[in-house]
Amino acid sequence: METQAQQITASAHLQPRRRVATVAQVANLYPVFTQAALRDLIFKASDRFNSRGDRIAGNGLAEAGAIIRIGRKVLFDLDAFEAWIDSRASSH
């Protein structure tokens, strides 16, 4: 009979892991994006407001779930990022 800790450990190994990467790693994986371009995408990921209070629409990267923030560390969920790229390519 397995203990509960063994069952949790076994189920953790069966679940697919998220593919995440830092800005530098994404720039290496996708040479078309420089680190500066990726940081600009992160900055413009969510809606924001200008000095007059007008809303500036974001690029949808945050809504796609492609950005993971852990403290000051910013990671990309590669599967969500690739899906976001595909959605942008088909809409334009």
Summarised one tens digit per residue, pLDDT across range 31-81 is: 999 999 999 999 999 999 999 999 999 999 999 999 999 999 999 999 999
- pLDDT of 26 over the 70 cut: yes
pLDDT in the model for residue 4 = 63
Q: So where are the chain's domains?
A: 20-91
On the 0-12 / 13-18 / 19+ scale of CB atoms within 10 A, 71 is exposed
Angle at 63 between CA 14 and CA 69, to 5 degrees: 65
For residues 61 and 37, the answer to whether their CB atoms sit within 8 Å is: no
Q: Given the structure tokens 């007059």, which residue do they identify?
A: 52
pLDDT in the model for residue 16 = 74
Q: How far is CA 30 from CA 33, 34, 68, in A?
A: 6, 8, 18
